[in-house]
Amino acid sequence: MEDLTNAVANIEEETVLNLVKQKLDANVDPYEILEALRKGMAEVGNQSGEGNYFLTDLIMAGEIFSEAMEILMPKLTKPGGEGKGKIVIGTVKGDIHNIGKDIAITFMKAEGYDVVDLGVDVPAQKFIDAINENNPQVVGMSGLLTLSIEPMKEAIDAIKSANLRDKVKVIIGGERTDQSVCEHVGADAWVNDAVEGVKIIKGWIG
């Protein structure tokens, strides 16, 4: 699967899409294909962190990933899996990075969860409105930057002030998150790996 991972990492749209189709036609496990895509996107993130890729590159990589998932998703979604639970997720205010969030959404949808994507640069009130409108069991907050930590805390504090905190579990994710950040912002759990995030959510709502 290294060829697919490298194609994603090099932001080669046509090659990525062709490889996904070829591997599905060859009856390769779709979850192996998804993992190869995830690794490629992780490398895109690494290259961005090292200053080799810029915002336009990240946007293009995200678009390629979305196109690949349109092909892959029908093979991933488990029959009868719909209705397991509802999750609201967004990248917090001040952060416009969506790659990690979108990968997490893909894994959650593949497991049969109903996911409400709030997008990026999401203010606290938008999380509150989404909880009131959708009645989710879980709220996910994503952020790539260190500057995202305080907006996560502000959003969770706002959810608590709106008397909604006891109705939802909150999970945060991103490269700068760890246990100390989790405790600081008042979340229930933290991850920097989408697969681990799904495991945690399964433990909460099945």
pLDDT tens digit string along 150-177?
A: 999 999 999 999 999 999 999 999 888 9
Going from N- to C-terminal start, the domains of the chain cover: 2-76, 86-205
In this structure, whether the domain defined by 2-76 belongs to CATH 1.10.1240.10 is answered with yes
- Concerning whether 48 is annotated as a catalytic residue, the answer is no
Read off the amino acid at residue 11: I
Is residue 90 within 8 Å of residue 129, measured between CB atoms?
A: no
- Residue ranges in the chain modelled with pLDDT below 50: 81
**Distance separating alpha carbons of residues 3 and 180, to the nearest angstrom:** 37
Q: What is the pLDDT of residue 193?
A: 81
pLDDT tens digit string along 118-157?
A: 999 999 999 999 999 999 999 999 998 889 999 999 999 9
Catalytic residue among 97, 102, 117, 142: 97
Identical topology for domains 2-76 and 86-205: no
**Distance separating alpha carbons of residues 87 and 89, to the nearest angstrom:** 6
- Concerning whether 148 is annotated as a catalytic residue, the answer is yes
Catalytic residue among 48, 95, 102, 117: 95
Residue 92: both structure tokens together: 């917090």
CA distances (Å), 200 to each of 189, 191, 206, in order? Answer: 8, 9, 9
Q: What is the pLDDT of residue 31?
A: 85
Q: What is the pLDDT of residue 78?
A: 61
- Concerning whether 142 is annotated as a catalytic residue, the answer is no
Q: Which class in CATH covers the domain with range 86-205? A: alpha beta
